[in-house]
Amino acid sequence: KVKEITRGEATRLINKEDAVVVDIRTRDDYRKGHIASSINLLPSDIKNGNLAELEKHKAQPIIVVCATGTTSRASAELLNKAGFERVFTLKEGISGWSGENLPLARGK
């Protein structure tokens, strides 16, 4: 159900299909650098169903990102169970994204 995608696939989904990026890292890590227009939701928020910010994006692809691509799967599967149909995880997470010199936004 949840598919791991490459940076190229993620970029295509963001640009062509208005995908929503959900960054599950800590607020501090998020502020240091995140994919532009991503939403910072902690795994605990997702686990507790605090998804108000995401509800309006149910029809869009959702890309869950973490630091290295290892912890995003559990949160992605929870979103899938909560009724989000097109949920993906980003291979190698933010470290892979910045390693390719892809742009990161700073601050909140």
Q: 41 with 53: CB under 8 angstroms?
A: yes
Residue of 24, 62, 66, 94 marked catalytic: 66
Q: Is 66 known to be catalytic?
A: yes
Residue 50 carries which side chain, given as an amino acid letter? N
Reference 72, options 94, 101, 57; nearest CA is 94
Q: What is the side-by-side order of every strand in the sheet holding 87-90? A: 3-5, 87-90, 62-65, 20-23, 39-40
* Positions marked active-site: 66
